[in-house]
Structure 1
Amino acid sequence: MESEDLKKKVGQNIKRLRIAAGIKSQAELATLCGWKSQSRVGNYEAGTRAVSAIDAGVLAKVLNVTPAEILYGESNKAGYFIRETGPSKNTESNAQWHAGFELWDGDTPLRDDEVALPFFREVELAAGNGSTFVQENGGCKLRFAKSTLKKSNVDPQHAACVTVSGNSMLPVLRHGTTVGVDTSKKSIIDGEMYAIDHDGMLRVKMLYRTPGGGIRIKSYNNDEFPDEFIQPDKVSDIKIIGWVFWWSVLNVWNN
């Protein structure tokens, strides 16, 4: 379903749940949510504005429903959310609900608390001679909340993203994983993960310093990808792009 259709569907959910809760007007709902203007609720119900995860949580609390009911319509819809009768005495929680996903696309403007980070990529030189260099991809960007970067002490102007290729970093990073990189942090701390430009190859690896000024490059999948030892006279072949502060893995459902 296209993003505009999704926003309209969520808007219909909000209006239906508002009426079901006995809240007669958008202004009344806005007041109960602690919002100064009725227009936020009006835009949500009209489907002209994507509902943020935070606002979905606020609406759910006021309307006495789950965030899933705000975003998806039915709390027991397969694949989204199911109400349970309650945990047993021997169970414990190891996760926290964060109100689902905000709906947006490439045309959605950035909010004041967001920033778009660029991607790095390999670029082949001289058509087919195997020589490459690493540069920023001018088109592709990933949205981050500024608060997320602040938690990792990352300045947005020094942050970028890299997509991992291959399985050398399994089981932590699978093929296609996106990692966030702080390009201001280039000093090697043994065992930390870095994005590097290795003689034109874009790589994400753990780095260690070795006696004499060399570097050890380590993969998590060490059985298939043994450690690489870079001698001091070859260290100039490696340019550290930055320290990896974040990564995200997308699982694919194979039914």
Structure 2
Amino acid sequence: FLAVGVVIHELEPIFGPEIARDMRYVAGAARRSPLLAASLVAGAAALAGIPPFNGAWSKEAIIGVALSTEPLVALVLLAASVATAFYSAKLVYYLVFAEPRYKEIRVEGIPAFMAAPLLFLIVMTLVSPLLVIPPFKPSEAGPLAIAASLAAAAAGLGTAFLLYTRKAATLRLAALQRAALEGFYIDRIYTRIIAPSILFAADLSARGLVEIVDAVVDVATSFSLQLGGMLRSLHGGKLSYYYAVYLAGLVLLIIVALVSMGG
């Protein structure tokens, strides 16, 4: 990541962010800088999980735990490992080995404040496992986890090699290359299938909710109107009627009271 940051730092002020951040335009930018090329290779190897770089040990440990507890999670991790190895190799190919698209786009000198961290990180990708793992200690991940991790790295690197270094294979795998350039169509799938489906479901849900609310309001309104009509028929506005009802109620209360006292 720091090596890519160096490329962007050196090229963006001159060529702008759209070119400096696009691998297709900055192809071969690290060819004239051995330190930058070495840091890109070391970082990609660590990300891909290639021994003896530190990423290999951490991937084996994580995949080993997943295989023993959650095999489905382990499959997802292995798929992610294949993708990581593929894109790491693709990055190295474009920035280090590919023919420059524009001769003027290149990184030659690296400032000391960026060169020192790059050199330190290159060393740490090889040395850091020795700081936490005793020498010659057998791996605790198990042979299956080690084999699966190495197979995932090999699958990703091999696919990248076929796509970007062998012309005949590139022609045979042109569809896969286009898919890779398009990000395996994840954005298209989301914008054309997933997002419209969610909006459609939300629209149906909203319409259903509106209909339910309208039905509840209609029932409540109808009940209120019918109750009001019944009550209105009982109140004609004549005082004699009100007095008669009042007296009838009073008589009823007296009868109830007498019955209660007699009981």
Range of TM-score over shorter length: under 0.3
TM-score (norm 2): 0.21
* Structure having the larger proportion of residues in strand: 1
Greater RCO (CA < 8 Å, at least 6 residues apart): 2
Greater per-residue helix proportion? 2
